[in-house]
Amino acid sequence: MSWIVLVLSGVLEAVWATALGKSEGFSRLVPSVVFAVALIASMGGLAYAMRDLPVGTAYAVWVGIGAVLTVVYAMTTGTEPVSLLKIVFLTMIVGGVVGLKSVH
């Protein structure tokens, strides 16, 4: 169960990171509210997962999922350019996350 919560929390990290960018310094209400709700839920899920998982592993997986999804979303929406090297490095992050899960 902790791994499922951790993955969902990583997804929420991408949500709050994206909403933070769209909030334009908290000057836009809806993205600011989405940021706050997603941040609280993401941190709560991370804290829950850390009850059973080692702190280093849980944090690395959480950050990895959030970072990859944030960049993929930005590339998909056209706000960030797509390049072969970015895809290679994102694949390496995913490989690291899978590796951490497999050695746990």
Q: Could you tell me if 9 and 41 are in contact, meaning their C-beta atoms sit under 8 angstroms apart?
A: yes
Task: Classify 65 as helix, strand or coil.
Answer: helix
Apex CA 101: angle with CA 58 and CA 2, to 5°? 50
What pLDDT, on a 0 to 100 scale, did the predictor assign at position 39? 98
pTM: 0.91
| pLDDT at residue 100, rounded to an integer | 86
Per-residue pLDDT of the chain (104 residues), as tens digits, is 999 999 999 999 999 999 999 999 999 999 999 999 999 999 999 999 999 999 999 999 999 999 999 999 999 999 999 999 999 999 999 999 999 888 87
